[in-house]
Amino acid sequence: MASIFTKIINREIPADIVYETEDIIAFNDINPQAKYHILVVPKKEISTINDIQKEDTDLIGKIYLAIKEITKELGIDKTGYRVITNCNEDGGQEVFHIHFHILGGEKIGPMRS
Ligand code: 5GP
């Protein structure tokens, strides 16, 4: 079954898309946890970090280059931001289509509070 993010990629459900290339999409999180909360998602359906294959090396590299571009565009590259990928239950993963949360635009609190 297609993940909710694949439905966004295929324009089956709406999203506030801020960046898109042939193999990556980024959009605002529906439930933002910071002033800026963007999800960067490879169009390829990789469920979790555990499912990344060697052939995905280039794609994962491109994700970080996208993050660099997006944060620069937002003007938070110098002030700073946090990138998070949750994995499975203990990591708090809810959507099983790998994604990278960008949180920024304000001071992001400690990792554990
Ligand atoms: P996870 O817990 O899997 O790391 O994060 C999933 C994220 O996806 C959550 O922050 C949640 O708010 C976001 N999310 C879930 N469904 C949708 C949706 O339909 N649209 C958007 N834009 N974000 C979503």
- How high is the ipTM of this complex? 0.99
Q: Residue 75 belongs to what domain range?
A: 4-104
Residue 37 lies in a domain: yes
Classify residue 92 as left (phi > 0), alpha (psi -120 to 50) or beta.
left
With a 6 Å cutoff on the Cβ, whether 31 touches ligand 1 is yes
> What pLDDT shows up at residue 112?
83
The catalytic site residues sit at 99
Instruction: Write out pLDDT tens, residues 22-67.
Output: 999 999 999 999 999 999 999 999 999 999 999 999 999 999 999 9
Centroid of ligand 1 to alpha carbon of 30 (angstroms): 6
What is the mean pLDDT of the segment spanning 4-33? 98
| Secondary structure letter of residue 56 according to DSSP | G
> What pLDDT shows up at residue 113?
67
With a 6 Å cutoff on the Cβ, whether 65 touches ligand 1 is no
Do residues 37 and 28 touch, judged by C-beta distance below 8 A?
Answer: yes
For residue 46, what is the domain's CATH number?
3.30.428.10
Confidence of residue 19 (pLDDT cuts 50, 70, 90): very high
Residue 55 lies in a domain: yes
How many domains are there within the chain? Answer: 1
With a 6 Å cutoff on the Cβ, whether 113 touches ligand 1 is no
Residue 109 lies in a domain: no
> What pLDDT shows up at residue 34?
97
Nearest CA to ligand 1 atom 13: 29
Residue 112 lies in a domain: no
